[in-house]
Amino acid sequence: MKLKTLCIYLSLVLFSCNSFIQTIYDDTTAKYNAYFIANETINEIEDDLQKNLIINYDSLIELSYIIDTNQVSNIKEKNSKSVEKLSILIQTHPESKYVYPSYALIGKSRLLNLDIRQAITTLKYVNSKSNSQEAKYMSLVYLMRAYTENNDYNAAVEVYKFLKNKPLNNNLKIEYYKNAYHLFKALNIQENILNSLFELEKISKKRNLTNKIYFAIGQIYLKEENYEAAKNYFLKCIKNNPNFEMEFYAKIYYAKSSNTLKENEILAYFKKLLRDKKNVDYLDRIYFELGNYYLFNNNYDKALENFSISIKKNQRNKALLFKSYLESAEIYYDKITNYELSKLYYDSAITNINREHKSYKEIKEKSNVLSELVKNLEIIRQNDSLIYLTTLAENELLKIINEKIEKNQKKSKKKSSTLNNRNIILDESKIILSRDEIGIWYFNNPTIISRGRDEFISKWGDRELEDNWRLLSKISFSEKEQKAEQETTDNILSEIAVEENDIDIIS
pLDDT at 480: 53
pLDDT at residue 77, as a whole number: 80
**CATH number of the domain where residue 152 is located:** 1.25.40
pLDDT category at 21 given cuts 50, 70, 90 is very low
Pair (384, 434) in one structural domain: no
Which among 22-31, 64-73, 146-155, 394-403 has the top mean pLDDT? 146-155
User: What is the structure's pLDDT at 375?
Assistant: 81
* CATH number of domain containing 366: 1.25.40.10
Query: Which residue range(s) make up the domain with 271?
Result: 261-391
Q: Is 150 in the same domain as 28?
A: yes
Q: Is residue 17 part of a domain?
A: yes
Tell me the pLDDT band of 446, cut-offs 50, 70 and 90. Answer: low
Measured over the CA atoms of residue 485, residue 488, residue 492 and residue 494, the dihedral's sign is negative
Are 378 and 501 in a shared domain? Answer: no
pLDDT at 208 over 90: yes
* Cα 440-446-448 angle, rounded to 5 deg: 65
Quick one: 4 and 132 in the same domain? yes
Check residue 3 and give its pLDDT.
Answer: 58
Last residue of a domain, one of 136, 169, 202: 169
Residue 425 counted as domain residue: yes
Give the end of a domain, one of 169, 199, 229: 169
Same domain, 129 and 274: no
pLDDT above 60 for 503: no
Are 308 and 330 found together in one domain? Answer: yes
- Per-residue pLDDT, 195: 96
Q: Domain ends where: 169, 189, 213?
A: 169
pLDDT above 60 (res 162):
yes
- Mean pLDDT over 17-41 rounds to 60
Instruction: Say if 13 falls within a structural domain.
Output: yes
Q: Which of the pair, 452 or 64, is modelled with greater confidence?
A: 64
DSSP string, 86-135: HHHHHHH-TTSTTHHHHHHHHHHHHHHTT-HHHHHHHHHHHHHH---HHH
Higher pLDDT, 402 or 199: 199
Residue 214 is predicted with a pLDDT of: 97
413 with 426, same domain? yes
Band (207; pLDDT cuts 50, 70, 90) = very high
**Is residue 259 a contact partner of residue 237, using CB atoms and an 8 Å limit?**
no
Whether 506 has a pLDDT exceeding 80, the answer reads: no
| 137 shares a domain with 4 | yes
Q: Taking the model in full, what pTM does it have?
A: 0.69
Q: Quickly state the pLDDT bin for 138 (edges 50, 70, 90).
A: very high
Close Cβ partners of 76 (under 8 Å, ≥ 6 residues apart): 113
Let me know if residue 22 belongs to a domain: yes
pLDDT band per the 50, 70, 90 thresholds, residue 25: very low
Kindly write down the DSSP assignment for every residue of 215-269, as one continuous string: HHHHHHHHHTT-HHHHHHHHHHHHHT---HHHHHHHHHHHHHH-TTS-HHHHHHH
Confidence of residue 359 (pLDDT cuts 50, 70, 90): confident
Q: How confident is residue 12, by pLDDT bands cut at 50, 70 and 90?
A: low
The better pLDDT of the pair 381, 180 is held by 180
Average pLDDT value for residue range 284-303: 92
Domain membership flag for residue 416: yes
In this structure, is residue 244 part of a structural domain?
A: no
> How many domains does one find in the chain?
3
Q: Are residues 308 and 161 in the same domain?
A: no
* Domain contains 100: yes
DSSP string, 155-218: HHHHHHHHHTTS---HHHHHHHHHHHHHHHHHHT-HHHHHHHHHHHHHH---HHHHHHHHHHHH
The per-residue pLDDT of the chain, averaged, comes to 80
Please tell me whether residues 369 and 427 are part of one structural domain.
Answer: no
Lowest mean pLDDT among 34-48, 317-331, 465-479: 465-479
What band does 431 get if pLDDT is binned at 50, 70 and 90?
very low
Is residue 412 located within the same domain as residue 440? Answer: yes
16 and 76 housed in the same domain: yes
| Section 184-211 average pLDDT | 95
More confident call, 281 vs 445: 281
What percentage of the chain exceeds 70 in pLDDT? 75
- Ranges 132-136, 241-245, 251-255, 479-483: which has the least confidence: 479-483
Rounded to 10 deg, the angle between the 339-350 and 318-330 helix axes is 160
| Radius of gyration from C-alpha coordinates of the chain | 35
Average pLDDT of span 151-173: 94
Reported confidence tier of residue 38, pLDDT bands at 50, 70, 90: confident
Amino acid at position 358, single letter = K
